[in-house]
Structure formats: C-alpha cells, structure tokens
Structure 1
Amino acid sequence: MGDDIRNAIEGGTYDGVVMQGRDLQYHQHHHHHAAVKTRTPRLLAPDPDVFVDRHPVFAELERAAAGRAARSTPLIVALTGLGGMGKTATALRWLHRLRRHCPGGQLQADMSPHGHLAPLDAYSVLQGFVQELGTRADERPAGQAALEAHYRSLTARRPLLVLLDDVVNVGQVRPLLPAHPGSVVVVTSRMPLTALKARHPSMLSLTLGSLDREASTELFRAVAGEDAVPDVTALESVLAACGGYPLAVRIAAARAGELYGLGEDPAGLARELGDHRTRLEALAVDDLSVPQVLEAVHLSLADGPAALYRALGAHPTPEFSRDLVRRLAGNDTDARTLVRERVLEPAGEGRVRMHRLVHDHARAVGAAVREGSADRLLEWYLHRAAAVERAVSDRWRYGPVFATPGGASAFADAAEALDAFEPDRANAVAMTRLAHDLGRNAMAWQLAEALRGFFFRRKYHGDWIEVCELGLKAAGECGDGLAVARMHYELAFAHADRGDATDTGTAGGHYREALRLATAAGHARTESSALEGLGLLALREGAPEDAAEHFRRAVRALDGLDHPRGRALLTFHLGRAHAAGHRHQEAAELLLRARRMFAELPGRPDRFNEAKALWHHARARLRADRPDEALPSLDEAVTLIEDCGAPKEQADILLDRGDLLATQGKRPEAEADWRQALTLYEQAGSTQTKKARERLG
C-alpha cells in the first residue's frame, strides 16, 4: 500500500475518544483515559434558625416533591412575593429538607445583588456554577452555548438542588436549569414569571403573603426573646403596625430586644410604630431596613408605574377599587405592573390593596405630589358617588357635580349601584375627611350631598352623620350660604332617620336653621324640604295636625316651581298625617294618589316611594279596620321594593304583612315573612331585629 495514504475521518459526529492511524496497537493495561471529575457543590445557605407558618405553602411543596420520581424534567418552583416576605427563608427551609434526596449537591446564586436595575446575566452565574461543579477556568468551553451544554453534561448524572434568588427576568433562569430530571430548581422573584410558566407548564408557582397574627406573634417572640416581649396591648399594636410583614416583624422584635437590653420599656416601640409618620423609620436598623427594601422596589419601577405608586400614597386607606387605579394611571398597563411586582395585591372582585407599610412608603415618596394626586382621587369618588345617587333617586340636589344631566346610568338599577359602592363606604368617609383637611371644601360638601342616597338606603348612620358634619364645616368655609343651608338639611335628615333619643331635637335644630338660611337666600326647594322635615318630626312626636300644617306650608313654598317629585312626597306625607289623625278615608285617597304620582314621575318611576306609599296605605286601612284592602297593597309593596336596595324598609313591609297574615290564620306564610324580615334587619343592622325574633318565638 505504501506510505502515501490519506488519513482522514469524514461524515457524521463522533462523541468520546476516537483513535486514528495506520498501525495501531492498543494495550488496555498501559492506556488510561482521564474521566472528567465532577465536584459536589455545597453552596446552599444555612437553614434559617427561626421559621414560622407557611404550612399551606409547604404542603404544596411536599406534594410536588413527592412526584419527582415520575418526572422527565427537573421540578421548577417559583416563590413570588414582595421583598421581605420570606421567599428566600422558605426556599432554604424546604431545600434543606430535600438535600439527602439530591446527591449531586446544591447550587445557589443571588441574581440581582445590586438591585433589580442591575440583574446578573446568566452567563456569569453559569461560569461560577461550572467551576463549582469541578471545571477549572482554563478548561471551560468558550462561548455561552458551549458552556450551557457543558453545564448540562455536568448536571446529568445525579440530581441536585438549585436556588436562584431574586430573579428579575426569565432569561436569567433558562441557561441554569440542570439536566437530571430528579433535580429541583427554586426561583424566588417579586414577579410571577409568566413566561417561565409558559415554557415549563409543570412549574409550581406559589405566592407568599403576610403572616397571620398567630405566626407574627410566634416570630416576634422567637426573635425578641420572651423577656423582651411587651405587654399584650403594646404587642398587639406593634404587630398591627407590621401587618404580618415578616421583615418588619423581625426588625421590630430585634428592636424590642435591644430596648430591653438597654433597660428601656419595649412597649415604647408601639408608639413609634403607631404613627405612620415614624413607622418606617422605626423599622430600619443598620443594613436591615423596610424602607430600604421598599425604596428598591420603587426605584426599580418604570416611570409610569412609579408615578402611579406615588399617587396611590395620597389615598387615605391602602385598599381601593381597581377602576380607581386605572383612572389614576390613565391606562391598565401600569396598574398591571404594580400587581405583577406585588406592590398591589388582589383584594376581592375589582379590588386591590397595598400592604400598609408599602402604602406608608408610597405616601412618603409621593409627598411632593400629594395634593395633586388627592384632587384626582377626590374627583373620582365624587363622580362615583354622584352616579350612585342618581341611580338611587331623582331628587333635586345642589352642587356643580349635579349641574349637568348624568346621562346613561352606569348601573342597571339602584340595588346594583348600592352594592357596587358598598366596598368603598369607608373610603368615601375618609375621602370626605381628606377633602376638608386639604381645604377642598366644595368637594367635601358635594360629597356629603352625593352620599345621601347610599347612606339612607343602607342605614350607616354613624358614617352618614360624620360626612354631613364635615360637609357643614366645609360649606361654611366656602362662604356659600345655600350650601350651608343644604348641609344643615342633610345633617337633620341623617339624625331624623337614625331616630335615637337625642336625634329628634338635633334634627329639629338643623331643619330650622336650614329653613332660616333657605328663606333668606330665597331658595324655595330647600325651604320646602326643611318644612317637610319639620313636619315629619311633628308626625313622629304624635302631633299630626302640626305635621299637616308643615306639609301644607311646604307645598305652598313650591308655588310656581316645576317639582313633581317634591309634590308627590308632600302628598305622601300629608296622607300619613291624616292617617295618624284618624282621617282614614282622606289618608287612603292621598296615599294612593301619592303612589300614582311617584309612578308617573318624568324620566322614571320612583319604585322605592311607590312601595312606601302602598305600605302606609295598608297601615291606614288597617287602622280603619279594613284588612281586606290592606293585604293587596302590602303584596304590591313587597314586590316593588325588592330591587330597591333598601333592606330596612323591605323588612318593615314584610313584618307588617306577616302580622296581617297571622291574624288571618296563615301562620306558615306569616313566619316566612318574619324570617325574611329578620334576615334583612340583621343585614341593615337595625334594632328592629328584636321585633322579628319575638314574632318567631
């Protein structure tokens, strides 16, 4: 053959050792192939010495771990939540439990040690991982693709644990996934890592929220030491301020221990944490700091979400409508970003909330824009309340927010409007207080007027009276005499509707002041309304003739005014006065006439007052010993009021119908009415529940 031989290998890809030559001799006992040695890394940080709660989370983790043997790919777990919620501690506690099942070792990396604005790239972490697995720097393949392949080879033999802490983006994760299907990868992040879930559908995603009170107490005691735990009242105050935020609880507990060690009373911590102006400062010790963690969150946000974050700090409470957040942002994207970053968390259908410490921080960093943000918030609440008020009633109101027609209602009916506004009840009161405190007085008194229908139907008298008192102060500071008259009228109406022992006298004083101011201003509608209120008080005090005279004067005040609803109401009240004065036939005629007037109001009928007119007609016929004429009116009243969102009045009518049915020997039907009345009274928080219970025995 000669020496002129072509020496080449062509075609295909060859793995492993390839020997090529003209004359080869292979002696196994002389040749030794050096296998690549893989080290077993032990990078996992120590198991936390103090760890509480998270039982539901661990139950999910254990279920996932139990199915590892059947997997064809590594188990990926994403633990998400706000910084300081204990994601890393939870990951470490669980991974330490799994160590004996993963002989390949443990790898761990902080993926954003310099903050979310400067996340580590996966390549630099991959280099470190490969080195820990036994490959020297001078042996590493060049280029990321080759290094990833090498990493997969190194991690294919035995299962190992990988903790990727504080991941900012999915691109940081993919190159670091090991090859062995028995491996476990835990990723912690503020964000939900949706793209990672899309690539790995079997990924387990768990969100860590606040600790409950029991777990917070356990954590506080463990960190502070039993001797440093303050008295029960102070401890409750401290834990309430921390809101179950694990980082805050740890810092507060450490500070309590420090105070005790210095001979001071740890209960003093409660005063610092009880005031939102000093709360965040009290939760910072050296490099462990709640405000520092939250500031990092704020600084990592893009301009739009960051501006929204600061604006929400102007809201007086940390829980609000998602629609408000969208309106404040001007788009839905920024709101979604805050939810994705765990700055906002779901709080029921259409609702979101901030943790109270996050809200404190948002308030602090948004102080410079607080008043501008507050104006936008107030405008939303005012128009929202006005929309509810329009859905509930067509009564006349004073104020620029009601100066133009409302257009198509945002709600199908009054009940829907009232239910929609229910979650914002406390917020509406707080916003009225904020409007007054900021000197937005026109907004404050208009809010008081706009909230009347909601409070009247739902009977939240304490909130209603507080709002009206704020409205009265605000109207006085505006110097608007008619607004002051209206606020006296609204405050009188609220007191009269509550009807406690002192309310009648208080209501009478405000009605008389409203009458005086309205007469001086020449405002016939408010004058008529104040006279109507005085008539209702006289009727309640057993003076039907005085009441009737007030109602007649109120009718005369409307001369020349197109006010069909006012005339319908006064006809209704006059019918009640005649019934109380035993003028039964006149009463029946007036009450049925009032019912027709309510049904024929321009625009839409007033079903609520139709039902009330029929109810009082039934009562008048019962006084006249005509129960046969009373039952049809009660039946119709029950039907009409069902969709009005007025549980107290609905219960009143059902109670009376039940009484009438009982006298007719229809006990089962009567008890059904009484049971429904009891449920509605309880819903409305009415003292009338006692009467319903007595009837049911």
Structure 2
Amino acid sequence: MDNTFSGGNAHVVVQAQNVSMSQPVPSPPVPAMLLTGPDDFVDRNEGRAWFDAITADLPSRRSPLFLAVTGAAGVGKTALVLHSLAGRLGEFPGGHLFADMSRRGLGDARDVSDVLADFLSEFRIPRDEMPSGLEARAARFRSLTSAEPCVVILENVVNPGQVWPLIPGHPASLVVVTSRFGLSGLRAGPHKVNFLQLDVLDDAACADLFQQVAEEAGECDDELLRAVIGACAGLPGAVRIAGARAADPLDGGIRSLARRLEAGRSALEVLTMSDGDISMRLVFEDSYRSLDAATARALRALGLQPTEDFSDELVAALGGTGETGDQVRRRLLEANLLESAAAGRCRMISLVHQYAKERAHAEDSPAEHAAVLSATADWYLWRAGAVAYQVSRRWRCGTLFADPARLRGVFDDEQQALDAFAADEAGAASVVELAFKAGWFEKVCQLVEALRDFYFRRKHHVTWIALCETAVEAARHLPNDLVLARMHYELAFAFLDRGTEADLDAAHRHYELAQKVAQRVGHARTLSSALEGLGQVALKQGAATTAISLFKQALAAIKNIDHPRGRALLTYHLGQAYSAAGLHQEAAEALLRARELFATLPDAESPGRIAPDSYNEARSLTRYGQARIAADRADEAVEQLESILDLFEKCDAPKEEADALLVRGDALAACGQGDRARQDWQAALAMYVRIRSDRAAEARKRLADADGSATTQGQ
C-alpha cells in the first residue's frame, strides 16, 4: 500500500482494535567523568611500570583493586594516573568516575554522600528516586557498578573515610586514590591498598618537560635552563608554570625568569602566572591551611632553618615536647610537607621551605623568630656536645659540659656520633653565623667549642677555621676573659691542625694571645694548653729544642692541678720533640709512658674506673715506631706496632690509621719482611686515596721503590 499526500495539511487518524508502536530501548548511560591527561608528560617510567604490573591481573580478581598515589603538592600524581590509564579505558565498560575529594581546599574534606549523589546522577538516577542516606547510596552505587568493571579516581583524598563508601560492585573494577597525605589509615581498612609514593623529577626530566611546555626545544641556553629548573625543585607543576611563563611573550621568556631569580626574587613569586590565578604559592597554601595550629607553627619554624634537611629529633624539638613533637613530625610527613630522607632524617622540598619561611615572616613576630632560632641553636649545641662527649673527654669551659649526664647516651659510640653529625654539620655551621648576627656571643663560643671534636676528626678545615674566627670575635664582646683565651686557643688549634706554613704562623700568634690572657686571669689549664700549642708549632717549624722547653713549661703549669689527660698529651708531645732532637732513647721512654697514661686515664664521671683513650694510645705507638726506626731499632717498633690496628677499630681516624700502617710497613721492611711491608703500604695507600690525603704519594713511592728493588734482585 502506498499512501501519499501532496500540498496542504494532512491529518492521519488510525482506527483499530489494538495499536502497537515499538521504539528502540536506550542503552544505560556509561559515566565518562575522567579528566584528559596532560599532553606534555615526561619520565615516570618506574611509576607507569608499577601501575601496569599492579593492574595486570584485573580481569581475574575477586574484589576491586585499590591503588593510592601519594606525594607533595604539584608532584604530578593525577597526571601519572591519567597517563597510565590512557588507552586502557576500554577495560572499564562500566564507566569512568572521577571526584575531587577536597575541591574547596584540603581543610574541607568533601562529604562522601554528596560524591555518591554525583555518581548516581551520572547513571541518570532521578533525583526523587535517589536514596538519602550514605549507606543506601553506597549500596545503590555498588548495584549499578556490579555488571561491568569500572574505574573510580578519587583526587585529593583527605582521610580514609572518604574512600570505602565509593567501592564499585564489579570485582574487576579499579579504585585509584591520590593525596598529598600519606593516608596510612587505609592500611587498616577492609581492602588491601597498594601504595606508590611519588617523588620529584630529576633535572633532566624537568628540562624536557619545560621545553615541551615552553615550545623552546633547542633554543634554551643551558645555564639559563639550569637556573630556572633548579628553582622548580623537581615539581612538574612548578615546571609547567615556568614553561608557560617562558612561552608568554609578555613575560620576556626564559631570560627574564632567570634574571629575576639571579636578582634574588623568590622562586614562589617567579612561579606565579601574571594574573595570579595559577601559582605554586596557592598550591602550598591549600596544604598549609589543612594543618592544625601546632603543626603549622612547626612548619613555619622549619622554614626559618638555614638548611632544608633536618634530623628527626630537631623537627620533633621544634614541634613541641615529648610525644607532641613526634606527633607533629608525623603529621608533617603525612601531609607530604616533609619527606623521609636517610634513617633518622627528613627533608623539605626547596619550594615548600621557601613557602614555610614566607608564612613565618607573615604570621610570626621577630620575638617568635628569635625564640625559634634560640631553640635551634640549643639543639645543635646539645647535639654537637653529645658528639664531643663520645670523641674526647677533654676539659671545656662551656656550661654544657658541666653536666655530662645530658650528653651521655645520645650516641652509642664515637663512630656512630661522627657519622650521624655529618648530616648536621651544614646546619650547625649556619646556626653559628646566625647566632653571631643575633648577638648571642656566649652561645656562639659554646657551639664552636663543642664542634671542635667533630672538625678535628673530619678535617673540614676551611669551615672549622672560619667558625673559630667568628668565635674569637664573639668572645671579644663578653666580660669573661677566660672565654676569649679559650677561643684564641681553639682557633690556634685549627690552624695548627691544617698546618701550612702560613697556618703555623697564625697558630703561633693565637697561642701567644691565649697564653697572655690565661696568665692574666690565672687559669693554669688554659696556660698549659697554650704553651703546649706553642711547643707543637715550634716542633713543626724544626725548633725541637725550643719545643722541649715549652712542653716542660706546660707540664710545670699543671703541676698542682688534677689534669691526667693534660699530662698524657704533654708527655706524648715531649716524646715527639725528643725524637726530633735526636734523643731517641728519651723519645722511646716518653712515648711508651704516654701510651700507658692514655690507656689508664681515669673516668671523670665514674671515680675508680678507667676510660682509655684509644686514639691517642695509637698515635703514641705510631710515634714510638718512628723513633725506634730512627734509632735503628726497627724490631722493637714491630713488636709494639703489631696490635695498633686493634686500637683504631675503636675510633674513626682514617688518616692516623693510614699513618700507622705506613710506619709499621717501614719497620717491617727494615726487618726484612718485604711482603708484609707491602701489605701495610698498600692498605695505607688505599686509605690515603679514600680521604684524598697528600700522603698517598709517600705510600706510592715506597711501593715503587720496593718493586724496583725486587726487580733488581731478580736480575
């Protein structure tokens, strides 16, 4: 049948007993809420490999898979997730759901019930049929997502409670959480969660990303690029802002960015778009506002620190007392405003450190800043004092050492103390300078005195001497002349230990100043120490007879005071001077006597107990060996030096240990034991090379001479 109408209006009327009209049933809606991943994406090979490996068995799972990607603000957590999912969305035909769980800031966690309402709306659930309670909404969501796998991405999660109600129903589904917080509470939940802590990018990846965003590949001067990339602290978010500014002709390109940084402009200021809407400062602001008052105060205190690397104990000390301080440290780590570094240490991304400093200057008074610096200086003083306690029980004038109980038990032994403080050295040195500028002259002197033992062992002479010079200036402002004498003595000791010709002249000058002040105030111990130092300078300058006289004067100065360590050291130096003067028998007797005195030093804290000084015992034996070799009695040197390495096992002194091996090798060679001599020289050479000592050349010469002698004998 063909019914057609042409022209005019037509009205069709159908009259029938039954009318049936069929229409196609619409497919159920499939949510597609995911953001588009960034076009510019670099590196993250390990993160993508982790994502692929974890999700490889999704089709065979019996419950949804949970992933948590955590890290600092701007580190690229969501970008990694979206990039890893690109090309795989077909594996989730049940839908792709996304929610920002703190879209009004980290201090305002989004209500999960509202998120579920949004998700249900994506499935076209009528509002008047939507359940009102959280549990009912969660159950309806599980039902709607039970037929096919879906993916749920929850961005900026604030607490674990925001996650569990959003579990989809199909067992092959995927839930990915991103957060600036550690979310350790997820580990205690009903489902296993796989964690990835995302770190900053390296400089090469940052440079690649910058050039992609700025569209200046191949045109960036390397030096300018390094300056800008360094300011971004490895954060992709910061690199994107820098790239966008460099691409904006109104901003002047990368040269303008680098010039502003060189002029001392804050990196946070430079990493802000001209309209102010996109800024790393705003990114950090969100994290900061989520902190409680005590944790925010600790963050500001860390912003005032001179370094971006901290001991856990310092963070806790600035956070409060006892448990409170530890809890504050944990909250900063949980918020990814701090990150764990080596064992017992934290570090702060440089941009976060700058932001924390900005907040401190904006919110805290100068008096509060001074209180933070004072607490910091006290902590470094205590820490350095604990190191000094392990290294040497020598007398010090600082009040800290009047109560050694505070210093006992911080470290187990000398080696642990020196290794632990190596990471604190930069902070301690900076705090000395800050304390001097603040006018805390007594604290400066105490800090430098406490630091002496660390620097003496590690031989960081440039920093050591500079700090001692600062301490001398500080002591001139104090009414106590004894402190001035001690600081001249400390500076002289540092010059003497480095030992160049100019250093010896400087050491002599400061030892004389220490001697004059000590005589004026009548302090026998410091007078003896200054005379001892003058004797050491004379010895190094080849005036052995003068040195002998000075060491004897120093011994006489402490004749009437209880100073066993001083007598042991002066006996050791006297032995050296005798040897240099060619008085070999006197030298041998003095050096063995010195070794005995060091081995039987009384423990100042436990009367009746012995506290041997293994370091100086070993040094005495090394000098004894040299004296016996000089006297053509190498066999006696070998006998005494056999056990010297046992003494060095108890102390960290690589240069002195290498010196001892060199001398023992000389003694063995003189006794005709060439193979054993070579072993010692080889070991000495390895140590000298490791610590970059100039004496490596002496060990090489001995080995070369031995090789040449062996070749001649073979011919």
TM-score normalised by the chain length of structure 1: 0.91
Equivalent residue, structure 2, for 1:433 = 433
Structure 2 residue aligned with 1:616, among 623, 630, 634? 623
For the residues of structure 1 that align with 2:23 and 2:668, how far apart are their CA atoms?
Answer: 101
1:172 matched to 2:162: yes
Contact between 2:495 and 2:503, CA under 8 Å: does it hold in 1? yes
1:344 matched to 2:334: no
TM-score normalised by the chain length of structure 2: 0.89
Residues 1-54 of structure 1, C-alpha deviations (whole Å, 9 max, x = no match): xxxxxxxxxxxxxxxxxxxxxxxxxxxx99999999620122111121111111
Equivalent residue, structure 2, for 1:324 = 314
For 1:209-288, list aligned pairs within 5 A.
209-226=199-216, 230-258=220-248, 261-262=249-250, 264=252, 266-273=254-261, 278-285=266-273, 286-288=276-278
For 1:369-388, list aligned pairs within 5 A.
369-388=368-387
Equivalent residue, structure 2, for 1:364 = 358
Equivalent residue, structure 2, for 1:458 = 458
Equivalent residue, structure 1, for 2:9 = none
Structure 2 residue aligned with 1:641, among 623, 640, 648? 648
For the residues of structure 2 that align with 1:588 and 1:414, how far apart are their CA atoms?
Answer: 29
Residues 517-575 of structure 1, C-alpha deviations (whole Å, 9 max, x = no match): 22222222222111111111111111100111111221222232221211211111111
Corresponding letter in the other structure for 1:626: R
Contact between 2:246 and 2:252, CA under 8 Å: does it hold in 1? no
- Alignment CA distance shift 1:240-1:501 (3 Å): farther
Structure 2 residue aligned with 1:605, among 581, 606, 612? 612
Offset, 1:622 = 0.9
Offset, 1:113 = 0.8
Structure 1 range deviating more: 478-487 or 343-352: 478-487
Equivalent residue, structure 2, for 1:310 = 300
For the residues of structure 1 that align with 2:396 and 2:565, how far apart are their CA atoms?
Answer: 12
Identity of aligned residues (%): 45
SS of equivalent residue, structure 1 residue 284: coil
Equivalent residue, structure 2, for 1:659 = 666
Query: What are the ranges of 5 or more consecutive residues in structure 1 without an aligned counterpart?
Result: 1-28
For the residues of structure 2 that align with 1:149 and 1:405, how far apart are their CA atoms?
Answer: 64
For the residues of structure 2 that align with 1:685 and 1:130, how far apart are their CA atoms?
Answer: 69
- Alignment CA distance shift 1:275-1:377 (3 Å): farther
SS of equivalent residue, structure 1 residue 267: helix
Equivalent residue, structure 2, for 1:11 = none
1:295 matched to 2:302: no
Equivalent residue, structure 2, for 1:10 = none
For the residues of structure 1 that align with 2:136 and 2:25, how far apart are their CA atoms?
Answer: 19
Structure 1 residue aligned with 2:639, among 632, 640, 657? 632
Offset, 1:671 = 3.2
For the residues of structure 1 that align with 2:411 and 2:33, how far apart are their CA atoms?
Answer: 59
For the residues of structure 1 that align with 2:237 and 2:251, how far apart are their CA atoms?
Answer: 25
For the residues of structure 2 that align with 1:684 and 1:160, how far apart are their CA atoms?
Answer: 59
Corresponding letter in the other structure for 1:547: A
For the residues of structure 2 that align with 1:201 and 1:463, how far apart are their CA atoms?
Answer: 53
Structure 2 residue aligned with 1:687, among 687, 694, 701? 694
Equivalent residue, structure 2, for 1:567 = 567
For 1:23-62, list aligned pairs within 5 A.
38-62=28-52
Offset, 1:275 = 6.9
Structure 2 residue aligned with 1:355, among 331, 349, 360? 349
Contact between 1:229 and 1:256, CA under 8 Å: does it hold in 2? no
Structure 1 range deviating more: 121-130 or 516-525: 516-525
- Alignment CA distance shift 1:348-1:227 (3 Å): closer
Alignment length (residue pairs): 667
Equivalent residue, structure 2, for 1:22 = none
For the residues of structure 2 that align with 1:70 and 1:377, how far apart are their CA atoms?
Answer: 55
Structure 1 range deviating more: 377-386 or 428-437: 428-437
Residues 431-486 of structure 1, C-alpha deviations (whole Å, 9 max, x = no match): 21221122222111111111111111121112211221221222223344222221
1:510 matched to 2:500: no
- Alignment CA distance shift 1:385-1:81 (3 Å): same
Query: What are the ranges of 5 or more consecutive residues in structure 2 without an aligned counterpart?
Result: 1-18, 604-610, 705-715
SS of equivalent residue, structure 1 residue 596: helix
Contact between 2:414 and 2:652, CA under 8 Å: does it hold in 1? yes
Equivalent residue, structure 2, for 1:20 = none
1:190 matched to 2:199: no
For the residues of structure 2 that align with 1:132 and 1:629, how far apart are their CA atoms?
Answer: 92
For the residues of structure 2 that align with 1:44 and 1:160, how far apart are their CA atoms?
Answer: 12
Corresponding letter in the other structure for 2:468: C
SS of equivalent residue, structure 1 residue 349: coil
Contact between 1:95 and 1:161, CA under 8 Å: does it hold in 2? no
Offset, 1:228 = 9.7
For the residues of structure 1 that align with 2:22 and 2:681, how far apart are their CA atoms?
Answer: 96
Equivalent residue, structure 1, for 2:533 = 533
For the residues of structure 1 that align with 2:424 and 2:483, how far apart are their CA atoms?
Answer: 25
SS of equivalent residue, structure 2 residue 86: helix
Q: Please tell me the root mean square deviation across aligned C-alpha atoms, in Å.
A: 2.3
- Alignment CA distance shift 1:47-1:425 (3 Å): same
Corresponding letter in the other structure for 1:543: A
For the residues of structure 2 that align with 1:163 and 1:565, how far apart are their CA atoms?
Answer: 68
